[in-house]
Amino acid sequence: MEELKKQECPLCKTKNLTLAEEEKEVPHFGKVYLFSMVCSNCNYKVSDVEAVDVKEPVKITFTVENVKDLNVKVVKSSSASVKLVELRMDMTPGPASIGFISNIEGLITKFEEVLKAQKETAEEDEDKTKAKNLLKKIWKIKCGDIPLKIVIEDPSGNSAILSDKAKVEKLKVK
């Protein structure tokens, strides 16, 4: 892994930013570059995943049907959007969007953490109840009791769900 330390942080302007780049082989996906920036002063973080090969824009659909599906690997680039259809939740790309390599359970947990924070900070009882109900649904999904359809749309083509069950099609770029 290559690292550049003591770089200027774009947020706090101190020289505490570390830039890192690593090339990795992801099974069934190919070579990728992992990029990250971390500031030890203000905790600013950015990361991304880029495929070495240029790819076509892609739409990937996967349905979690059982506990085993939670172990399926996921590669999400910073340009990808993720939708959890039955939960009516999404993660859209933007300046704070990050790329990552995880599994389906890790992806769902990212949404779960947002809901837990919303439940704790919500001022309206209706919002707290909504978050609580969605958290119950996530628990049932993780137990394999109810299915969950996941849709990843990536104009860069650098995302993947590494399973034969994943439906991959060309993304119609608007």
Residue 18: strand pairing partners: 38
Query: Hey, where are the domains in the chain?
Result: 1-53, 54-174
CATH of 1-53, one of 2.20.25, 3.40.50, 2.60.40, 1.10.287: 2.20.25
1-53 and 54-174 in the same fold: no
DSSP state of 137: H
Give the rounded distance of the alpha carbon of 122 from its chain centre. Answer: 24
Nearest to 168 by CA among 156, 152, 155: 152
User: pTM of the predicted model, to two decimals?
Assistant: 0.78
pLDDT tens across the length of the chain (174 residues): 899 999 999 999 999 999 999 998 877 667 888 899 999 999 999 888 877 877 899 999 999 999 999 999 999 988 899 999 999 999 887 666 788 889 999 999 999 999 999 999 989 999 999 999 999 999 999 999 999 999 999 998 889 999 999 999 999 876
CATH of 54-174, one of 2.60.120.1040, 3.40.1350.10, 3.40.50.12780, 3.30.300.30: 2.60.120.1040
